[in-house]
């Protein structure tokens, strides 16, 4: 398969790339990628990359492991702060589906990324949790309209092991997710047949 991974140099993305690279052709995209530059918060940039991919040859799968949202206490979040998550993690990923479809082969899949905050938020995450929940609803709804041409799923994992040092104190009592376990969510979406599924990975085993 030919698989595009947006955010493929990130903590989660690089594990996904590592895994699929053993048996598949993987294209790594991100804001700082020279070959496949994309900023998902910028619609023109999304259109440009998918136009380039379509020209080079369509892909079998698109994985997005990128997207930001502002963390802060609710009382301190301005409307502009909320817009960071809406523009990047929410609309950015919606636009990856809107424009990515055009660069996707028949029967191809798109896999988005959210996280446990959608179901089990912690302090300071009103924006991030809201955006994750929005993507979950979007994926279930958009899958109904794919007419068996394409599949769309989202992987929602808990705090992953590789970022434990940085974020552990924000997630009291949350089980850290081993990286290999997290990757299985993407494998299920890309190689399986599921469609419109929120693939929740909240337990370590």
Ligand X SMILES: NC(=O)c1ccc[n+]([C@@H]2O[C@H](COP(=O)([O-])OP(=O)(O)OC[C@H]3O[C@@H](n4cnc5c(N)ncnc54)[C@H](OP(=O)(O)O)[C@@H]3O)[C@@H](O)[C@H]2O)c1
- Name which of 109 and 125 has its Cβ closer to ligand X: 125
Could you tell me which of 127, 180, 125, 177 has the C-alpha nearest to residue 156? 177
Minimum gap (Å) between residue 28 Cβ and ligand X: 8
Residue closer to ligand X by CB (options 10, 108) is 10
Tokens describing residue 164:
């434990």
Least distance to ligand X, CB of residue 107, Å: 26
Nearer to ligand X, 108 or 115 (CB): 115
Of the chain, the end-to-end C-alpha distance in Å amounts to 28
**Least CB distance from residue 147 to ligand X, whole Å?**
28
Please state, as a whole number, how many other Cβ atoms lie within 10 Å of the Cβ of residue 66: 27
- Minimum Å gap between C-beta 165 and ligand X is 11
Give the footprint of ligand X on this chain (CB under 6 A).
6-7, 9-13, 30-32, 38-41, 65-68, 88-89, 92, 113, 115, 157, 159-160, 163
CB-nearer residue toward ligand X: 30 or 100:
30
Question: In the numeric block, which tokens belong to residue 197?
Answer: 């599924």
- Residue recorded with tokens 């179901």: 119
Alpha helix segments (H runs only) across 63-162: 79-85, 91-100, 126-143
């Amino acid at each position: 398969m030919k698989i595009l991974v947006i955010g493929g140099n990130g903590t989660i993305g690089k594990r996904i790339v590592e895994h699929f690279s053993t048996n598949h052709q993987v294209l790594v995209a991100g804001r700082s990628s020279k070959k496949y530059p994309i900023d998902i918060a910028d619609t023109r940039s999304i259109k440009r990359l998918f136009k380039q991919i379509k020209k080079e040859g369509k892909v079998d799968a698109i994985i997005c492991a990128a997207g930001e949202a502002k963390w802060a206490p609710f009382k301190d979040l301005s409307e502009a702060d909320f817009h960071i998550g809406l523009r990047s993690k929410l609309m950015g990923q919606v636009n990856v589906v809107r424009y990515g479809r055009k660069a996707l082969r028949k029967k191809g899949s798109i896999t988005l990324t959210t996280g446990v905050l959608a179901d089990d938020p912690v302090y300071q995450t009103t924006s991030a949790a809201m955006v994750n929940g929005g993507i979950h609803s979007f994926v279930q709804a958009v899958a109904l309209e794919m007419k068996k041409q394409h599949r769309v799923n989202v992987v929602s994992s808990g705090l992953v092991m590789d970022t434990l040092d940085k974020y552990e104190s924000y997630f009291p009592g949350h089980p850290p997710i081993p990286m290999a376990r997290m990757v299985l969510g993407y494998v299920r979406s890309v190689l399986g047949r599921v469609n419109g599924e929120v693939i929740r990975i909240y337990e370590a085993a």
